[in-house]
Structure 1
């Protein structure tokens, strides 16, 4: 390789990487590449080693970049430039799934900056039309591998990041309007593959410039006229800015899921642009479909026949029936939790610390249970706006018995039961344990029934149909747990449970006062994914009806 060709190759790669980032020096690098192609090795040597001299046909900025690379700075410059593009692009280069030039074409011609973008562009044929069939096949394999490799964020962390960047943009970018969280987080996916924010502005180019210049933005990894992928607090945030007339279409597409977008798009026509998401669905002849339902699980068909459910809302929730205090493994005192729930507007709550056999860092002994009851009695007059129920989250032991004796449990206002310990048992044995607890007359709620840990453990292989049937038959509620580590029942199981006639609760399972509101929102979002309506939810009912539900089971007169 000649000196010119070596420098030329490095400059071309630097230009490609700069174009991905929308960097100001992309033009200088392209000029340098074009100019260098006309030089001989001797011309390059004179230009490189006689810095005081200039070449009349090469722009000064281009000459500077040629000198930098020719003097040995090319390798370092390439390493630095590759580190400043989106993670997807970096991995495609590392996997040799695309050249630098192909990666730039993906960004500039196909609108690809994230894995979701790449999957969509492969689906709709943009990649093949731009790069050819062989490259598209190679990138399809890479996308499948990266879907398994790239680590998603738990929903709780994703929402925290997105709400923070949303607040930053609203505070610093005055030209942005209707800043909205989109992507997986808006659909309340338990694991979020990409962080996306959508807004509109009269001048998207100027608005994107404001976004990129905002204080706190660490770097700009990809930039076009209506989009910037920025690095913020070590997270990639995809910020999309439309004109107002296209805002609905952009928010709809950015929210996903792919199969849902594809189904709706086929009905309304790809070229239709809409200012609001309601317009997107109206032009497709559909009811508006809530983000949490957009998964290709029958929602489009239901919307076409106006048969969508009226989903439960956060404002429907009257109380929280599952939380922990310093009596077990909670971080805050009982009174702190009560005061926080008053601020949230709850009409009633249940204090439900862990029983002795739980594997929690601290558990509740029988003596402590008595002291806790006494403290609740003292607090009730001090907080007249909220009813404090005394309960427990009792472990279901390996043979299906409960961790506390009936004589203790019958003195409590509410009893929650949990399968915390699998004890090496198979699905059939775990199901028998769960159903034995469900049939116990003092058990009112089965908490996080599958006991899944999001991103770490799929949950128990229960016979869920049998569990739902037993719950419906006995008047036992099944919980939709809002703790980001659980989100259990998940949407699929919640939908099946209410379809089978089971009552559900939506609880925070919170261990600190600060997170009570957020975890209830996560629980409601998970319930909405399961087509859950207000009528299905025990703690969307007045306290008198909750007490009646509990009393009916104890008296052997079940309620739905």
Structure 2
């Protein structure tokens, strides 16, 4: 059992040394691992700590074009891990970025430039308070879920990254919309979400799953040990994982 593809890999184009390997280092390692397909998906530009700089996006795409010619034995996709910026589900995707991308990932992250102060307050302060108050937590689950569903409905998102990580959400409602929008749910090897309990809930719907390494350095590309354990524990039919052979 092995992965045939890894669609969530950060490169040195994620700023502040968040990604530690160059695109060519990533490609060479992936070829050595026998992967058939990879996606370079650095954080969207509104992640003020780690996002790809706007003036580097075209440069990164051109580098991938260069790697496609140099390493024809592997399919290389250019993408982005976009960030949810508002309770309404707005992200840092725009037409210029979308026109360059072969694949779109999206997830919730802290450290982003939220759309309004109210969004900052809701995501950061209220989710923090929800850790200590059941009523607040239940309300935040509802709000967080609305934000993610909003993003799924507004954009053609290929993969929803690590749902359930960083903020609590209603996986049942998210999986229901993911089925309708044909969005693949990620079992993230690094962040441990979806976990086995979440996979059981999501698997009730006709959704597909993907295992991604969420690699930030070439040595962890193709990692799937934690994710496959969660999938097996959940009883998921492994044929529903699109990149597992």
TM-score interval for Structure 1 and Structure 2 normalised by the shorter chain: 0.7 to 0.9
> CA contact under 8 A between 1:482 and 1:526: conserved in structure 2?
no
Q: Which runs of 5+ in 1 are unaligned?
A: 1-313, 453-459, 542-560
- Partner residue in 2 for 1:382: 70
> CA contact under 8 A between 1:410 and 1:442: conserved in structure 2?
no
Deviations 1:427-471 (A, max 9, x none): 21111110011123421111011124xxxxxxx231221101001
Cα separation, 2, equivalents of 1:515 and 1:445:
20
Residue 359 of structure 1: how far off its partner (Å): 5.3
Cα separation, 1, equivalents of 2:237 and 2:56:
37
> CA contact under 8 A between 1:409 and 1:442: conserved in structure 2?
no
Deviations 1:497-544 (A, max 9, x none): 122222111000000111224x32222222222222232123248xxx
1:536 aligns with 2:240: yes
> CA contact under 8 A between 1:321 and 1:539: conserved in structure 2?
no
- Partner residue in 2 for 1:436: 150
1:495 aligns with 2:209: no
Residue 344 of structure 1: how far off its partner (Å): 1.1
Cα separation, 2, equivalents of 1:359 and 1:491:
32
1:524 aligns with 2:213: no
- Partner residue in 1 for 2:116: none
> CA contact under 8 A between 1:478 and 1:503: conserved in structure 2?
yes
- Partner residue in 1 for 2:115: none
Aligned length: 216
- Partner residue in 1 for 2:212: 507
- Partner residue in 1 for 2:171: 464
Cα separation, 1, equivalents of 2:27 and 2:66:
12
- Partner residue in 1 for 2:125: 424
Cα separation, 1, equivalents of 2:183 and 2:218:
27
Cα separation, 2, equivalents of 1:406 and 1:540:
32
> CA contact under 8 A between 1:446 and 1:477: conserved in structure 2?
yes
**Secondary structure class of the residue paired with 1:321:** strand
Structure number with larger C-alpha Rg? 1
1:475 aligns with 2:182: yes
- Partner residue in 1 for 2:54: 366
Residue correspondence of structure 1 range 191-202 to structure 2 within 5 A: none
> CA contact under 8 A between 2:24 and 2:67: conserved in structure 1?
yes
- Partner residue in 2 for 1:449: 163
> CA contact under 8 A between 1:391 and 1:412: conserved in structure 2?
yes
Structure (1/2) with the larger helix percentage: 1
Cα separation, 2, equivalents of 1:476 and 1:385:
27
Match of 2:32 among 343, 348, 372: 343
Deviates most, 329-338 or 496-505: 496-505
Deviations 1:159-201 (A, max 9, x none): xxxxxxxxxxxxxxxxxxxxxxxxxxxxxxxxxxxxxxxxxxx
Cα separation, 1, equivalents of 2:62 and 2:171:
38
Cα separation, 1, equivalents of 2:28 and 2:234:
31
**Secondary structure class of the residue paired with 2:42:** strand
> CA contact under 8 A between 1:355 and 1:403: conserved in structure 2?
yes
- Partner residue in 2 for 1:402: 91
> CA contact under 8 A between 1:506 and 1:527: conserved in structure 2?
no
* Pair 1:475–1:348, CA change in 2 (3 A): same
TM-score (norm 1): 0.37
Residue correspondence of structure 1 range 166-177 to structure 2 within 5 A: none
- Partner residue in 1 for 2:20: 331
Cα separation, 2, equivalents of 1:420 and 1:359:
11
**Secondary structure class of the residue paired with 2:187:** strand
Residue 374 of structure 1: how far off its partner (Å): 0.3
* Pair 1:358–1:529, CA change in 2 (3 A): farther
Cα separation, 2, equivalents of 1:424 and 1:473:
32
TM-score (norm 2): 0.82
Cα separation, 1, equivalents of 2:23 and 2:155:
27
* CA RMSD, Structure 1 to Structure 2 (Å): 1.7
* Pair 1:356–1:495, CA change in 2 (3 A): same
Cα separation, 1, equivalents of 2:141 and 2:80:
25
